Amino acid sequence: MVMRKHQRYFPVFSPSGALLPAFVTVANGPIDAAAVAAGNEAVLRARFEDASFFYKEDLRQPLEEFRPKLKGTLFQKDLGTLLDKSDRVVSITAPLADAMGLGAAKGVAVEAARLAKADLATSTVMEMTALAGTMGRHYALKQGLQPEVAEAIFEAALPRQAGDKLPASPAGIVVAVADRLDSLVGLVAAVGAPSATADPYGLRRAAYGMLQALVSNNVQLSLSSAVSLAAAAQPVKVDAKAQAAVLDFVGRRLEQLLVDAGVPAEAGESS
């Protein structure tokens, strides 16, 4: 991440996928190759030293202690901070796990939900935001938390973009769905569903991510019941009209997801 984000270097991997101590960069025009290589190495070394410092500082305290710092980051003005959002996700995780038929995993899911966004307050993730979830899992393992909890912390962030891996563990599926469900219900009530191509809060991505987590793992869930559950946890009123708007918005994303997957229309309607 240091090479890619800060320096725009290409990292080099072995045929087996192991990261090698090498990089590729590009220079335009005639150059002194040795001088350019040495200069790039010096800058990269300094960047690595910064990253190492952030990482070591993060390890000085448990992941749990980063959670209160989420209070300093606004999620949305009517919906509160990231800590408020995290609390809402925790509150709906256990009943949502039962509704999804994954009640056996709800203990792990609730613990993971509490910590799933804590790494957003770490120095490493604030410096390299693409590592959200990845560092949460790593710090959880370093601090001796159950591997199942650590994996669910990571999977809660999945999928991060189109084509990304999807949550696969029961607890990870529950937390990933709970987080996106909270965003969809709260933001549609507070600011409305996206119109045309504008989608400043990434609600289309949230809906697709939630649906992919469910469909890819063959998990059944009553969306109307789930929306009602999330609506009750919101700090703003989510009336029947807003809940219907969420269901319509998610339903259209589901139709598109099924079309993209090559599922016949009649099969999509029956599901």
Using CA atoms, how far apart are residues 215 and 267, in angstroms rounded to an integer? 13
Which residues lie closer than 8 Å to 198 by C-beta, 6 or more apart?
none
Using CA atoms, how far apart are residues 261 and 243, in angstroms rounded to an integer? 27
Say if residue 131's pLDDT is above 80: yes
Terminal CA-to-CA distance of the chain, rounded, Å?
A: 41
Which residues lie closer than 8 Å to 221 by C-beta, 6 or more apart?
96, 99, 100, 177, 214
Cβ atoms of 123 and 61 within 8 Å: the answer is: no
Say if residue 267's pLDDT is above 80: no
Place of tokens 């807003």: 242
Say if residue 270's pLDDT is above 70: no
Domains recognised in the chain with CATH numbers: 1-59 (no CATH), 63-261 (1.10.3210)
The per-residue pLDDT for range 157-209, each reduced to its tens digit, is 999 988 899 999 999 999 999 999 999 999 999 999 988 788 999 999 999 99
pLDDT of residue 266: 52
pTM: 0.90
Q: What count of other Cβ atoms lies within 10 Å of the Cβ of residue 131?
A: 18
Place of tokens 């999945």: 158
pLDDT of residue 195: 81
Torsion 228-231-237-240 (CA) sign: negative
Per mean pLDDT, which range of 2-6, 24-28, 35-39, 258-262 is the poorest? 258-262
Using CA atoms, how far apart are residues 59 and 241, in angstroms rounded to an integer? 46
Is residue 200 reached through a cis peptide bond, with omega within 30 degrees of 0 on the bond before it? no
pLDDT of residue 170: 98
The per-residue pLDDT for range 65-124, each reduced to its tens digit, is 999 999 999 999 999 999 999 999 999 999 999 999 999 999 999 999 999 999 999 999
pLDDT of residue 259: 80
The per-residue pLDDT for range 210-261, each reduced to its tens digit, is 999 999 999 999 999 999 999 999 999 999 999 999 999 999 999 988 887 7
Going by pLDDT thresholds of 50, 70 and 90, the confidence category of residue 140 is very high
Going by pLDDT thresholds of 50, 70 and 90, the confidence category of residue 29 is confident
pLDDT of residue 197: 81
φ/ψ region of 19 (left if φ > 0, alpha if ψ in -120 to 50, else beta) reads beta
pLDDT of residue 264: 61
